[in-house]
Chain A
Amino acid sequence: MRGPATPRQCPTRRRRLIDSKIVDSPSPAGLPAIDANLVGRLLGAALAAGGEYAELFFEHRSSLHLALEDGRVRSVGAGVDAGVGIRVFAGGAVGFAYAESFEAGPMLAAARMAARVARARSKAGAPRWRAAAPQVPATAPARVAVSPAEVAALLRRVDRAARAASSLVVRVDASLAAVQREIVVAASDAPMLRDVQPLLRLSVAAVAERGGRREAGSTGGGGRFGLEYFAQRSAESFGVEAARIAVVNLDARAAPAGSLPVVLAPGDAGIWLHEAVGHGLEADFIRKRSSSYSGREGQRVASPRVTLVDDARVPGGRGSLGVDDEGVVPTRHLLIDRGVLRGLLHDRVSARSAGVAPAGAGRRQSFRDVPLPRMSNTWLAAGEDDPEDIVRSVRLGVYAARFSGGQVNIASGDFVFAVTEGYLIEDGRLTAPLRGVHLIGNGPAALAGVSMVGPDLEMSEGTWTCTKEGQNVPVGVGMPTVKIDRLTVGGTAIAEGPR
């Protein structure tokens, strides 16, 4: 896979929709008003050949991106992607089709295509659906406007700040993407729901050079915001941070190779959890019995210091949702409670098969894709160990501060993640910066090896994108300072002494 917001403890009570306000005639720039009669006809066509459930997923996505290269706008572009995905459940099978249009003809054709999955089943009388105007959960943010000229000015500030931070910086690339996603989900068994999901992402890469050696540093930020995000977090600070990492890496030396204690810094390191355990708790893998956590509910799967939460309702979180992509309002998921596996992430398909209610973890990249159980914002709950004591407890190990990505093999639980800023720990102190390195381990074993957890929970700054079955969705991750007793550090320097 590839956040600033502080996770807030939210009540677990499911939100009722009774008091939600009705939305009328959205502006012409976004999703057009969805005609309730047409929704009825489409659901009717989708279920005309049989089937127990049908769902229409209307989506409109407009995007703007600007990229600055050495202080000048190198590329600028805009995009629109809009359409409807139609899904039918029939006797355990799913039919799916989409139309890149909100006109009746193409949408009805897609509904009939999706209905083909049920064609072998007995022809029931086509039910008539009556849909009301879409409702919007109270948590949905309003549309945000992003001015391209303002973006260009902001990127120039980032660039100048990076160059001012160090005379060693020889190159700066900065880009910003702003997406406005609007969805309406009309399911045959639920009220029609609408959500607006803005997404902002700033990326900065700096290159520093000294004595012929060049090293890169990159950072970024964003979340479900418009440009007001930069009122709380200065654009300049990202430029300074990218420059700092590039300069640190000029002194980086080869990382050790072998099995060592690893201390993960707060924030970004949540990617470790996402890979090491998060994916294994997505219920499609459990349903297919391909996850190493299959059949382990109620059992101890981690050290008692591990409490793992996934919550799509973190304000501004990159993975936050007012409504998921199957028309379910998300709740907070307590996945692991003090080491014991308590919950899984379900979409409608896995929830039906497990006989539980879907809880808002069904996500898709776009109307062209079928939803899958996915994480939203995932974090490890804070503990009580002093972060300084955590580092002091390590004689020889690695302190991992920033990461570029990770991957997991679901069946075996083996995971890797790549460290882009790391330090050697020697005798309880951070010493030399280390060259980029992979950490590899096994999910259940690493979770059992979590021996210390700090109180300093932070969410990552809104840049991670998770890929599963070819579908990309934005996610948030978070972590306090954590010590894992043993992980394999994939450096090139072979440590001295007994192995």
Chain B
Amino acid sequence: MSLPRGSQVLLAGLQRRATQILGELRGLGAEHAELRLEHGQSLTVSVRDGALEQLAEAQSLSLSLRLVCGGRVATVTSSDLRPAALSPLLTRALELARLAKEDPQAEPPAPRLLARRWPELDLFDATIRRLGADRAIRLALLAEAAAMQADPRVSSSGGASCSRTVSHALLATSGGFVGPFAGTRVGLRAQVVAEDAAGGRRSGHYWSGGRHLASLEPPEAVGREAASRALRSLGAAPIATGVYPVVFSAEAAAGVIGLVSHCLLGDAVARQRSYLARRLGTRVASPLVTIVDDPLRARGPASRGFDGEGLATRRRVLVRRGELQGFLLDTASARRLDLPPTGSAGGGGGQVHPSASNFYLQPGRRGPRALLAGVRRGLFVRATLGFGFDPGTGHFSRGVEGVLIEDGQLTRPVAEVTISRNLDELLRGIDAVANDFELRTAIASPSFRVDEMTVAGR
């Protein structure tokens, strides 16, 4: 699908400006430069208690760039691209570069590694502008109303919002790479609080969205799901401290898989700040675990045809049936580890760093209910709270909200407890993976079960 005329004009304008800036940097004495220009247009509406609460619209244009001068690197970001404002900043960046150490790894990637063509990933919905302010308000109002009417215990609205963004970006390097990007996103979100007779309060929220208008669920469904999330945890209480089998819902499981992605990032690995740094080719998880990074999924939330340095991207299996097969590397970390780069540079322009794209645990064959079967007394985790994780050691501990599992059934809601176990042991302890997989977010997972974790509670 070709881009609409407006997008083509915009990208051509970004390319002209990029060429000017690269020319100026060359004139100032930079040997190499990579820059990214990003143009965004967004509309966000929010409603609460049946009335419009906020209408925000914006257009933005920003620059981030990395330059190499005398083998030394400096970075620049700016939202002020007028030549009169930008030129002094570029001059200053060249001065700053002198403070940096000479960095042989800062050389640009070899030209033969640069992407020349990339697949069409269907990330742009040309019809997205049909979602104007009026329609966005209507969708948000419908979602809120559905949430409030779902149950008498739903006591107050945290508001509903609807947004769309249109992004255009251009990555250009002094080595001759020019990579245009165009993408759209749309989202609808509702949030409510439910109260029970005992005065307990729980909030629930739900978000639906994606690259295309068609990915929006009906507003009524979004509202009802938000309400059901608040209702299902009413009356939650801690359970006794002990060792339990734990089933992670797909959403909570994605949080765990996200931690694995941090431990596979090239800079963490090269600096020995990941417990997986020295484990390539060894078993790091149960044989049920296969983890994939796939930047080429059509309509994917983090899809990219080329990476932040202009390298070609491809689908990679990082953990195959429990065995660690690779890391996520940009050029600099690949050189430090003496491995080939993997096209995993994120950011682009100034702040290049290894990053995951669409990163997920491969689904299994069993339905999610099957994970509960045979669990005599366990914990089903719906959501986690907190950030406690040390990538260097794998120590992992989180607050959780969930449900007690008794004799294979979900019985009563649980909150105010923590779960903990070292991530290394946790991944080896995965004894079932379900098939309820959906790539709604860049990091995604089906639900899975872990044989045991320490639960701290009453």
Please, how many angstroms separate the alpha-carbon atoms of A214 and B392 in the complex? 8
Contact A93 B51 (CB under 8 A): yes
Complex-state Cα separation, A288 to B201, whole angstroms = 13
Let me know if A412 and B201 touch, CB within 8 A.
yes
Per-residue 0/1 for B385-406: is the Cβ within 8 Å of any A Cβ (1 yes, 0 no)? 1111010110101110100000
| B101–A491 touching, CB < 8 Å | no
Whether A78 contacts B385 by the Cβ 8 Å rule is no
Check B79–A412 contact: CB distance below 8 A.
Answer: no
Given A289-B193, A412-B203: A438 touches B96 (CB 8 Å cut-off): no
Stretch at the interface among A221-229, A234-242, A325-333, A400-408: A400-408
A132 sits at the interface (CB 8 A): no
A207 and B78: CB pair below 8 A? no
Interface flag for B458 (CB, 8 Å): yes
B421 A492 Cβ-Cβ under 8 A: yes
Interface of B is mostly: strand
CB of B407 within 8 A of chain A? no
Partner of A79, one of B73, B78, B159: B78
A489 contacts the other chain (CB 8 A): yes
Q: Indicate whether B208 reaches chain A with its CB closer than 8 angstroms.
A: no
Q: Which of chain B's residues have a CB closer than 8 A to the CB of A290?
A: 156, 158, 191, 193, 203
B424 to A: closest C-beta gap in Å: 13
Cα–Cα distance between A215 and B393 once the two chains are bound (Å): 7
**Interface flag for B60 (CB, 8 Å):** yes
Check: A461 CB closer than 8 A to any chain B CB: no
* Most A C-beta atoms less than 10 A away, residue of B61, B395, B399, B454: B399
| B residues near A418, Cβ cutoff 8 Å | 386-388, 397
Closest to A71 in B: B101
A53 to chain B, nearest CB (A): 14
Q: Does A214 contact B272, Cβ atoms closer than 8 Å?
A: yes
Residues of A within 8 A of B193 (CB): 288-290, 411
**Is A417 in the interface zone, CB < 8 Å from B?**
yes
Q: A74-B100, A491-B456 are in contact. Are A417 and B386 (CB under 8 A)?
A: yes
Report chain B residues within 8 Å CB of A440: 385-386, 399, 416-418, 456
Minimal Cβ-Cβ distance residue in A for B415: A414
Q: Is the CB of B456 within 8 A of A489?
A: yes
The answer to whether A437 and B420 have CB atoms under 8 Å apart is yes
**Bound state CA distance, A34 and B359, in angstroms?**
47
Question: What is the CB-to-nearest-CB distance from A427 to chain B, in angstroms, rounded to a whole number?
Answer: 22
A154 lies within 8 A of chain B by Cβ: no
Given contacts A216-B390, A288-B48, contact A80 B54 (CB under 8 A): no
* B99 touching A404, Cβ below 8 Å: no
B271 to A, closest residue via Cβ: A171
Q: Mark B437-458, 1 if CB is under 8 A from A, else 0.
A: 0000000000000000011111
A418 to B386, CA, bound (A): 7
- Partner pick for A407 among B95, B191, B386, B454, CB 8 A cutoff: B386
Interface residue total, chain B, C-beta cutoff 8 A: 80
Say how far A290's CB is from chain B's closest CB, in angstroms. 5
1/0 contact string of B363-401 vs chain A (CB within 8 Å): 000000000000000000000011110101101011101
B156 near A438: Cβ-Cβ < 8 Å: no
Interface residue A140 (Cβ < 8 Å from any Cβ of B)? no
B46-81: CB near A (< 8 Å → 1, else 0) gives 001001111111101110000000000111111110
Q: Choose the segment among B218-226, B239-247, B254-262 that binds chain A (4+ C-beta atoms closer than 8 Å).
A: B239-247
The stretch that binds A, out of B85-93, B114-122, B172-180, B337-345, is B85-93
Task: Give me 10 other A-B pairs in contact (C-beta within 8 A), A101-B80, A412-B201 excluded.
Answer: A73-B99, A80-B79, A81-B78, A82-B80, A149-B99, A257-B418, A258-B456, A290-B203, A416-B385, A438-B399
8 contacts between A and B (CB under 8 A): A76-B97, A80-B85, A81-B77, A92-B53, A95-B55, A406-B386, A490-B417, A490-B420
Binding site for B on A (CB under 8 A): 64, 66, 69, 72-83, 92-98, 100-101, 113, 116-117, 148-149, 152, 171, 173, 207, 214-216, 257-259, 288-290, 292, 368, 370, 404-407, 409-418, 435-438, 440-442, 488-495, 499
Leading 5 A-B pairs by shortest Cβ distance: A490-B418, A77-B75, A411-B203, A416-B399, A416-B386
B positions within 8 Å CB-CB of A: 48, 51-58, 60-62, 73-80, 82, 85, 89, 92-93, 95-97, 99-101, 103, 133, 155-159, 191, 193, 200-203, 230, 233, 236, 238, 240-243, 271-273, 350, 385-388, 390, 392-393, 395, 397-399, 401, 415-421, 454-458
